[in-house]
């Protein structure tokens, strides 16, 4: 059974600081996604990572993938309040595009 674990589950940080969210998964994956969810809202696709060493950046967020370690990271640079949300990683092991989600990291950025 595929397990996807994120840590930390909750992160409170000051504006301007850097931090990293980790996503570990237990089996070989075809691709890994990062989604953002604002309170009471839907999930917004941020990144999809395919291959070992893949790195993608959008604004203050950068995602990377190490398939050998079965680890993805989402790095936040110089956080701003607008980044406050819950971030989920999700793994696709190639079975009908079925996504297995991590537990989510709730990020709060304080002014």
Partner 1 sequence: EPEVTQTPSHQVTQMGQEVILRCVPISNHLYFYWYRQILGQKVEFLVSFYNNEISEKSEIFDDQFSVERPDGSNFTLKIRSTKLEDSAMYFCASSEFGGLAGPDTDTQYFGPGTRLTVL
Q: How far is the CB of 98 from partner 1 (least distance, A)?
A: 5
CA torsion angle 90 54 77 106 (round to 10): 10
Which of 11, 21, 31, 83 binds partner 1 (CB under 8 A)? It is 31
Tell me the C-alpha distance between 87 and 9, whole Å.
9
Q: Does 96 bind partner 1 (CB under 8 A)?
A: yes
Among residues 8, 3, 30, the alpha carbon closest in space to that of 107 is found at 8
Which of 15, 44, 58, 66 binds partner 1 (CB under 8 A)? It is 44
Q: Does 61 bind partner 1 (CB under 8 A)?
A: no
């Amino acid at each position: 059974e595929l397990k996807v674990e994120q840590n930390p589950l909750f992160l409170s940080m000051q504006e301007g600081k850097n931090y990293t969210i980790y996503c570990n998964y237990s089996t070989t994956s075809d691709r890994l996604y990062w989604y953002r969810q604002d309170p009471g809202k839907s999930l917004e696709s941020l990144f999809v990572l395919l291959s070992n060493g893949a790195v993608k950046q959008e604004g203050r967020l950068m995602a990377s993938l190490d398939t050998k370690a079965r680890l993805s990271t989402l790095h936040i640079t110089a956080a701003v309040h607008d980044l406050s949300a819950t971030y989920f990683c999700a793994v696709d092991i190639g079975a009908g595009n079925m996504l297995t989600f991590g537990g989510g990291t709730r990020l709060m950025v304080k002014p």
